[in-house]
Amino acid sequence: MIVAIDGPTASGKGTIAKAIAAHYGLPHLDTGLLYRAVGRQVALNGGNPDDPDHALAAAAFAESLLDDPELRSEATGALASRVSVHPAVRAALLARQQAFAGQPGGAVLDGRDIATVIAPEAEAKLFVTASVAARALRRWAEMQGRGEAVTRADIEADLAARDERDRTRTAAPLRQAEGAALLDTSALPIEAAIAAAIALVEQQL
């Protein structure tokens, strides 16, 4: 069984994907991490994330980079969003994601184009979203917890810019796939969001 979970940043999709994977005993791949690694590698190379050749060269990152804590930063997230517009970068990461999805026992993948491009054949598809205000508040609380000084207005502006880029790009834009169940987590505590997500998966099986 493949569970495909898509949605914007800080919608709760990552936490939901982990919980669904644990619930069904399936392996989980956070595909955003792959794009973050490409973004980070471009920066390490001193390259330009908007240059398709620089971005593609960075897609050959070393496996050890996936453990770099810097991948989780807002700065790397913004770089990831910029490198991910290039079709050649997406193509370079495709086989790895499809191999993960095709594991004999099944898998849970979360990202932006799992149900539309990577695994349209998935048995269960979720589109997890939330208002920009709700997502900015979560991200802000997370960063406060890590002692990072940022304003909610800055985070909201960054999220809105990232959403716009992810939704309007030509290559694999973020959108709710046909047949995907919509889950809006704006008003839901995470435990309620997880329960609702599992119920939506069950309905599709």
Nearest alpha-carbon partner for 9 in 123, 114, 139: 139
Helix (H) or strand (E) segment spanning residue 173: none
Is residue 54 within 8 Å of residue 45, measured between CB atoms? Answer: yes
Judge contact between 169 and 35, C-beta under 8 A. no
Q: Note whether 80 binds ligand C5P by CB under 6 A.
A: yes
Q: Does 84 bind ligand C5P (CB under 6 A)?
A: yes
Find the part of the chain contacting ligand C5P (CB under 6 A) among 19-27, 44-52, 106-114, 130-138.
106-114
**Residue ranges for the binding site for ATP?**
7-15
**Segment contacting ligand C5P by CB under 6 A, of 50-58, 74-82, 120-128, 145-153:** 74-82
Choice between 83 and 194, CB closer to ligand C5P: 83
| Min dist. Cβ of residue 130 to ligand C5P (A) | 14
Q: Among 11, 31, 41, 116, which residue sits at the site for ligand C5P (rule: CB under 6 A)?
A: 31
Query: Which C-beta is closer to ligand C5P: that of 106 or that of 111?
Result: 111
Select from 24, 35, 61, 140 the one that contacts ligand C5P (CB under 6 A): 35
| Main-chain phi, psi angles of 171, to 5 degrees | -85, 115
Cβ neighbours for 22, distance < 8 A, ≥ 6 positions apart: none
Helices (H), the chain: 13-24, 32-45, 52-58, 74-83, 87-101, 132-145, 152-168, 190-204
**Residue number with CB closer to ligand C5P (125 or 162):** 162
Q: What DSSP string describes 157-168?
A: HHHHHHHHHHHH
Separation between Cα atoms, residue 201 and residue 205, nearest integer Å:
7
100 binds ligand C5P (CB under 6 A): no
156-195 residues in contact with ligand C5P (CB under 6 A) are 162, 166
Pair 7, 128: CB distance under 8 Å:
yes
Is there binding between residue 49 and ligand C5P (CB under 6 A)?
no
Say how many residues touch ligand C5P, by CB under 6 A: 14
| 121/202 with CB nearer ligand C5P | 121
Which residues contribute to the site for ligand C5P (CB under 6 A)? 9, 31-32, 35-36, 77, 80-81, 84, 111-113, 162, 166
